[in-house]
Amino acid sequence: MNLIKQLIQRRELIAILVIRNLKIRYKNSALGFFWSLLTPAFMILMYACFAKLLKFADGSDYLPFLVSGIVFWQFTAGCMNDSLNAIVGNTNLVKKVSFPRIILPLSTALANGVNFLLTIAVLVVYLILAGVFEYVNIYWLIPAILMHLMLCIGICCVCSVANVFFRDTQHIIGIGSLAWFFMSPVFYRTSMQTDAIVSVFGVAEASQLKGIVFLNPMTGILGAYRAGLMQNQLPVPEGVSLWWILVSASICFIVFVAGLIAIRKGDKSFGDVL
Amino acid sequence: MSTTTPVAIDVCNVTKRFNLSNTASSLKTAVLDLIRRRKHQTFTALNDVSFKVHKGETLGLIGANGAGKSTMLSIIAGTMYPTIGHVTCNGTISSLLELGAGFHPDLTGRENVLLYGSIMGISREDMRKKFDAIVDFSGLKDFIDQPVRFYSSGMYVRLGFAVAVQVDPEILLVDEVLAVGDADFQRKCLDKMDEFKSKGKSMLIISHDMHTIRSISDRIAYLDHGVLKGIGSPNEMAAQYGAATINGKNGDAKREWGTGEAKIASAQLVDSCGKPISVVNDDQQLFFELEYDAPERIETPTFGFSITDEAGRTVFGSNTEIEGFDLPYIQGKGKLMLKVDAKVLRSGNYMMSFSLHNRNHTINYHRLENHIPIYLPTATGFDGMCKLPVEWN
C-alpha cells in the first residue's frame, strides 16, 4: 500500500518518463508520433496484400484474426524488448538520484501501453472496414486490458531487474519470446491448442483438462480481446469452461507480483552493480 | 555546534562492502559460483563510519581518491545501501553528484529541466514557476530548446547546477563540481552555496580543492581508505590530511640520520607561549621548540631548518650561522626556540626539516627530515609561491 501511495505521489514523474520514452522513440523523425498510427496501418495493409496474393486467407475471417493477434502480441513483445533498457539504460539516474525504482519499468510498460492503445484504434478501424467488428461483447476488453497490463508491467519489472544482474537476459528474451509467440494462439485458433492437448497427452475429448492451455496467460488475453472486438469469437473454445480465463488472470497476477518482488529485492544492489 | 541542534544527516556505523566478482554480470558465472560455493571477494569501501551533520551546518569531506567519499555521498543520497549500519536524513535532498547526469541527450534543455525536477519530486507547477530562474542562472536562454547533446560540457554542468540549486532542497550534497565551469560560473556557484548556508540549510561537500572546502565548511571529516580518520575544524583536518598526503607521496619521507654525537631530542610546533599546538594560527607565525642532547661537548654547532612544499621543493632554509646566532658550544641537554615569520608564504601544506651539524657542514650530527607537517591557513589572494612586498605609485 505504501508503494501505491508513493506512486501516486510520483505520478508526474511517471507521466514525464512515459512521454520521454515515447519522444525518444520518435526522435528526429519528421512524422513523429504519427508513426504509432502508420506502423500498424502499414502492417495490416501488408498482411492484407499478401493474403490476397497468396490466397491463404480467402473467404474467411482468418486475416482479421491473424492481424489482431499480432497487434495484441506486439504489446507483450514490445515490453519484453524495451524492459531490457528500463533500468540499465537509465544507469545515470539510478546511480545519482533516489526515487522508487519501479517507476522505470512501469513507465516503459505504460509508454508501450499508450502506443498499444493507438494501435488498437487503427485495428478497430480495420475491423470495421473488414466487416468483422462487433461491439456487443465489448466489455471483454476490460479484463483483457487489465490482464495484459498486469502481465506487461510484471514482465518489464522482472526482465529489467534480471538484465541488471545478468546481461544474458537479452539473449534469453530473444529466444523466449519466439517460443512464447508460437505457444500462443496468435496465428492459430485456441481450439487448435486444445485439440493438440487432446491428441498429444491423451486427455479425454470431453475433459475440462484441455483448458490447461490457459496456463499461458496470452491464451486468455488474446481470447478476451478477440471476444470483445470481433464477431463470432468466444474467449474460450467450445467445450472449455469460461472459468479457465481466471487461470490466465491468476498467472498475470502472479507475474505482476513477481515483478514487484524482483524490483524490491534488486533495488538494494542496483547502485553497486550498475 | 551544540548537540541540541537538530540533526540533518545521521550516519550511524556505516560499513559498505562491494562484491568484486559480482561485476561479471553473467548467468554462467553466477551458476558456477553457486555450484562451487565460491565466496565473493569483497572490498570494504567504508568501515564503521559514523558522523552527524547538524541542521544549517556545512560539512566538508576530504580524503585521497578511493577513500570512500563518493560512496558515502551515494549512501546518503539513497542510491546505495550500506552493508551494515544506517543513514537517516531529515529533509529533502538534492545531490550534485555529476551535474546533469540524469539528462537525456535527445531531449531539449527545457524537457530535461522538467524531467529532473519531477525526479527530485517537485510538482510540474512549481517547476514552471522556477523555470525562468533556472534558465537565467544557467545563462542558456538561447539554447534551452536545443537537445542537450548539442551542449558543450560546460553548458551541461551549468544547467545541471542551476536545476539542482533551484530545486531548493533542505540538504545539498555536492561532489567535486566546482572543478568544471569557468571562473565566473565558479563564483556564481560559491555565491549560491553561501546563500544556501545563510538560509540555514545543510550541505555536505566533497572537494579536492582545499581552499574552497576550507573556506566553505564549518567542519571537515577526513576519510582514509574507508575509515573516518577525524572530524573537526577545517584547519586542523586540512593539516592532518596534508601531512598524510605528503608522507604518502614521499614514501617514508620522514627520516632521521646523522652521526649521533649530538641529537635533536625533539622538535615541535608550539604557540607564542610555548604550548604545543597542531594548527598554525592565521597570522602564520611559526614557533618551534627544539630540545637537544649533547652527551659530549660539541664545538660551534649549527642548527638549521628548512621548509619544503608539497612538491618537495625547498621553499626556505636557514641556520643559526647564517642568522648570526652564535653558539660557541653545546653540552648536555638544552632548548632552543625558533620563530619563523611565514606570512609571506601562500597557504598550503609544508614540511619542516631540522638539522644539527658543525660549522663547515662536514659532520652531520643529526638530521630530522620532513619532521613536522604544517598547514599554513591564510588565503590571501596572490599568485605564486610567496608574497613579496609590493608598492604601487
- Least confident range from A113-122, A160-169, B102-111: namely B102-111
Spatial distance between the Cα atoms of A141 and A229, rounded to a whole number of angstroms? 8
Please give the domain boundaries of chain B with CATH numbers for all domains: 255-376 (2.70.50.60)
In a domain, A92, yes or no: yes
Of A191-195, A201-205, B43-47, B50-54, minimum mean pLDDT range: A201-205
Q: Give the model's confidence band at B97: pLDDT under 50 very low, under 70 low, under 90 confident, else very high.
A: low
- Of B15, B33, B71, B80, which to mutate for an interface test with A (greatest number of A Cβ within 10 Å)? B80
- What's the mean per-residue pLDDT of chain B? 82
Among A11-25, B47-61, B94-108, the range scoring the smallest mean pLDDT is: B94-108
The proportion of chain A whose per-residue pLDDT surpasses 90, expressed as a percent, equals: 42
Question: ipTM surpassing 0.95, yes or no?
Answer: no
Residues of chain A with C-beta less than 8 angstroms from the C-beta of B121: 9-10, 13, 99
Q: Residues A148-175: pLDDT tens digits?
A: 999 999 999 999 999 998 888 889 999 9
Alpha helices in chain A (DSSP H): 2-9, 11-25, 35-54, 62-88, 91-96, 103-130, 141-165, 169-183, 190-201, 217-229, 244-273
Q: Which residue in A97, A165, A273 is closest to B102 by CB distance? A: A97
Inter-chain CB proximity B106 and A24 less than 8 Å: yes
A271 contacts on B by Cβ (under 8 Å): 74, 79-81
Q: Which domain holds residue A91?
A: 11-19+34-273
Name the range with the highest mean pLDDT among A143-152, B2-11, B151-160, B347-356.
Answer: A143-152
Contact B104 A95 (CB under 8 A): no
> Nearest by CB to B115, which of A16, A94, A273?
A16
Higher pLDDT, A37 or A253: A253
Q: Quick one: DSSP state of residue A56?
A: S
Residue B22: per-residue pLDDT = 52
Would the pLDDT of B273 be above 50?
Answer: yes
Can you tell me whether residue A133 is helix, strand or coil?
A: strand
pLDDT reported for residue A223? 92
Please determine, for residue B23, whether its predicted confidence score (pLDDT) is greater than 60. no
Per-residue model confidence as pLDDT tens digits over B207-248: 877 777 888 888 999 888 888 888 888 888 887 887 777 666
pTM higher than 0.80: no
B366 or B165, which is more confident?
Answer: B366
pLDDT (0 to 100) of residue B186: 77
Please indicate, yes or no, if residue A177 is contained in any of the structural domains: yes
Give the C-alpha separation, A270 to A87, whole Å.
9
Which residue do the cell numbers 544527516 mark? B9
A1 inside domain: no
The predicted pLDDT at position A83 comes to 92
**Sheet hosting strand B42-54, strand order edge to edge:** B42-54, B7-19, B84-89
For B276-295, the pLDDT digits (tens) are: 887 788 788 889 999 999 88
pLDDT in tens, A94-105: 887 788 889 999
Facing residue for B119 by CB, picked from A13, A24, A28: A13
Cα-Cα-Cα-Cα torsion A184, A187, A189, A190, nearest 10 degrees, comes to: 0
Per-residue pLDDT for A257 more than 60?
Answer: yes
Sign of the torsion angle spanned by Cα atoms B148, B150, B153, B155: negative
Closest to B112 in 3D by CA, of B165, B149, B75: B149
Whether A146 is covered by a domain: the verdict is: yes
Give me Rg for the CA atoms of chain A.
20
Confidence at residue A222, expressed as pLDDT on a 0 to 100 scale: 94
d(Cα B243, Cα B66) in Å, to the nearest integer?
Answer: 18
Contact across the interface for B93 and A98, Cβ inside 8 Å: yes
> Which grid cell sits at B231?
572530524
Average pLDDT (A189-194) is 86
Closest Cα in chain A, distance from residue B112 (Å)? 9
Q: Note the pLDDT tens digit of each residue in B352-380.
A: 889 998 888 888 889 888 888 888 877 66
Residue B334 region by backbone torsions, left for phi larger than 0, else alpha for psi between -120 and 50, else beta? beta
Q: What is the mean pLDDT of residues A111-120?
A: 92
For B297-310, write each residue's pLDDT tens digit: 888 899 999 998 87
Name beta bridge partners: B96. Answer: B174
Mean pLDDT of the residues in chain A: 87
Sign of CA dihedral B247, B251, B253, B256: positive
DSSP lists the bridge partners of residue B53 as B9
Instruction: Give the per-residue pLDDT at B389.
Output: 85
pLDDT on residue A59: 61
Res B1 pLDDT > 50: no
Polymer length in residues for chain A? 274
CA distance A210 to A241: 10
Query: Percentage of chain A with pLDDT > 70?
Result: 97
Number of domains in chain A: 1
| Structural domain includes residue A24 | no
* Secondary structure string (H, E, C) spanning chain B: CCCCCCEEEEEEEEEEEEECHHHHCCHHHHHHHHHHCCCCCEEEEEEEEEEEEECCCEEEEECCCCCCHHHHHHHHHCCCCCCEEEEEECCCEEEEECCCCCCCCCCEHHHHHHHHHHHCCCCHHHHHHHHHHHHHHHCCHHHCCCEHHHCCHHHHHHHHHHHHHHCCCCEEEEECCCCCCCHHHHHHHHHHHHHHHHCCCEEEEECCCHHHHHHHCCEEEEEECCEEEEEECHHHHHHHHHHHHHHHHCCCCCEEECCCCCEEEEEEEECCCCCECCCCCCCCEEEEEEEEEEEEEEECEEEEEEEEECCCCEEEEEECCCCCCCCCEEEEEEEEEEEEECCCECCEEEEEEEEEEECCCCCEEEEEEEEEEEEECCCCCCCCCECCCCCCC
Cβ distance A23 to B80 less than 8 Å, yes or no, reads no
Q: Does A82 map to a domain?
A: yes
Backbone angles phi, psi at B61, to 5 degrees: -120, 115
| Chain B partners within 8 Å of A13 (Cβ) | 118-119, 121
Interface of A with B (CB under 8 A): 9-10, 12-13, 16-17, 20, 23-24, 27-28, 92-99, 165-168, 268-273
Name the phi and psi angles at B291, rounded to 5: -110, 130
Nearest CA-CA partner of A226 in A190, A262, A252, A192: A190
3-state secondary structure of A230: strand
Closest-CA distance of chain B to residue A28, Å = 9
Q: For an interface test with A, which of B79, B146, B149 has the most A Cβ atoms less than 10 Å from its Cβ? A: B79
Share of residues in chain B with pLDDT > 70 (%): 90
Q: What distance in Å separates the CA atoms of residue B373 and residue B351, rounded to the nearest whole number?
A: 4
The cell for A92 is 545515470
